[in-house]
Amino acid sequence: MPIDPKKQLESLKKRCVEIIPEEELYKKLDKSAQTKKPLKIKLGCDPSKPDLHIGHAVVIHKLREFQDFGHEAILVVGDFTGMIGDPSGRSKTRPQLTQEETKKNGQTYFEQASKILDPKKTRIVYNSEWLAKMSFADVVRLAGTFTVARMLERDDFKKRFGDEEPISVHEFLYPLAQAMDSVALEADVELGGTDQKFNLLVGREVQREYGQEPQVIMTMPILEGTDGVQKMSKSLDNYVGLTDEPADMFGKIMSIPDTLILKYFELAAFAEKEELARVENALDDNSINPMALKKELARRIIAMYHNEKAANEAQAAFERVFSRKEIPEDIETTKLTRGSEIWIVDLLRDNKLVASGGEARRLIEQGGVQIDGEKVLSHEMKIVIEKQLVIKVGKRRFLRIEPK
């Protein structure tokens, strides 16, 4: 039996910034329930960023929610639009990808998104299927549905125009091409982050111009990265990846500033209202250490993408290294390429834990260097970066190493 449209709407509104327009979404949900025809819910995938993190998961979980209500989840891989490059938030023209790169990245995206979505009930399409077939006359007709003045209302274009930064004509085509995805699929709803609002609204207008009922758009909040300042991004090294090892996920989540704890509980751990109130009260209680809340948060997130056992083991490993060895929480962190190999002496010297290679050798011989609580026995040791490590030199010098 279909779930009541009012209950669906009440649930779907959670953790959502805007629904434009909300009354249209209710009408679509109600019609779907009466006709027993599922809505088509569209989410565009950026093929230039195939490595998903818990920031991406905010919107993917909303797609899963629609899926659980019986609606059709459609991932649109922009293999054609990827050759243009989404200008959203860009201060300069974005590098274009080849179609081969976008196809490969799109498959990687689908595999990772399947940690959240039901892959058997998820439709994946590539927009080259319809965009590559458009004639020049088709493109001219599409371009005629939108004005340059409207394009320049967009914040990133407006800023670049004011700063006299070049804007290529093909960049104006990106939101129009994304809108054609909605036309080709006859999308009922399109999801995206708040930074995609302009593109999603263009989809509504272009669908109307092509004689279709316009899609409802739902924008989801942007999650800041572990630095607590900028949007989560792999390029900024402030991300928690969906495929990160449990120990790495735990360490990264423990490094977030206290000011983000509540937001991560809401957007990354999907805590309900009562739980959020409990966390908020705990943060206001000076007798409760925020570290305990971060541990709870880390366990919940790891259990979602791995399992409970992995979450408990990650916490035990963290406590073994940090708590029991009395290692401070705010130690300096450096990121090294996963699988790379580095000589212990170079590691200590390059990260200024010692003044020279000679000092490094002397401290190692004296038993003054430890990795995860174990003494380094030889200055010839080479370390392979496969998981998070903590280096201790003497009594007060620490360094956390995270693979990237």
Residue 201 belongs to domain with CATH number = 3.40.50.620
Residues 190 and 209 in one domain: yes
Residue 318 belongs to some domain of the structure: yes
Residues 76 and 185 in one domain: yes
Residue 93 has a pLDDT of 46
Of 259, 293, 323, the residue that ends a domain is 323
* Residue 183, both tokens: 């036309």
Residue 284 belongs to some domain of the structure: yes
Residues 60 and 189 in one domain: yes
- CA 151 to CA 156: how far, in whole Å? 10
Residue 352 belongs to some domain of the structure: yes
Residue 328 belongs to some domain of the structure: no
CA 343 to chain centre: 33
Q: If you compute the radius of gyration of the chain from its CA atoms, what whole number of angstroms results?
A: 25
Q: Are strands 397-403 and 389-393 parallel, antiparallel or unpaired?
A: antiparallel
Decide if 175 contacts 198 (C-beta within 8 A).
Answer: yes
Residue 217 has a pLDDT of 97
Residues 290 and 169 in one domain: no
Residues 101 and 63 in one domain: yes
Residue 325 has a pLDDT of 55
Decide if 248 contacts 387 (C-beta within 8 A).
Answer: yes
Residues 125 and 240 in one domain: no
C-alpha distances out from residue 83 to 71, 100, 124, 275, Å: 30, 10, 19, 44
Of 188, 220, 252, the residue that ends a domain is 220
Domain count, the chain: 3
| CATH number for 389 | 3.10.290.10
Of 290, 323, 356, the residue that ends a domain is 323
Decide if 47 contacts 105 (C-beta within 8 A).
Answer: yes
Residue 375 has a pLDDT of 82
Handedness of CA 257, 261, 262, 265 (dihedral sign): positive
Nearest of 246, 223, 263, 224 to residue 59 by alpha carbon: 223
- CA 318 to CA 301: how far, in whole Å? 15
Residues 239 and 196 in one domain: no
Residue 167 belongs to some domain of the structure: yes
Residues 97 and 40 in one domain: yes
Residue 289 has a pLDDT of 81
| CATH number for 278 | 1.10.240.10
Residues 32 and 105 in one domain: yes
Residue 92 belongs to some domain of the structure: yes
Residues 245 and 213 in one domain: no
Residues 24 and 99 in one domain: yes
Residue 330 has a pLDDT of 64
C-alpha distances out from residue 50 to 82, 106, 267, Å: 12, 7, 21
Residues 70 and 152 in one domain: yes
> What backbone phi and psi angles, to 5 degrees, belong to 330?
-100, 35
Residue 390 belongs to some domain of the structure: yes
Q: Can you give the pLDDT of all 404 residues of the chain as single tens digits?
A: 568 999 999 999 999 999 999 999 999 999 999 999 999 999 998 777 778 999 999 999 999 999 999 999 999 988 888 766 555 544 444 456 777 777 788 888 888 999 999 999 999 999 999 999 999 999 999 988 888 888 887 777 778 878 888 888 878 888 899 999 999 999 999 999 998 998 999 999 999 999 999 999 999 999 999 888 889 987 777 889 998 889 889 988 988 988 999 999 999 999 999 999 999 998 888 777 888 899 999 999 999 999 999 999 999 888 877 655 556 666 788 888 888 888 999 989 888 888 888 888 888 888 888 887 778 888 888 888 888 888 888 766 888 888 88
Residue 227 belongs to some domain of the structure: no
Domain extent for 262 = 234-323
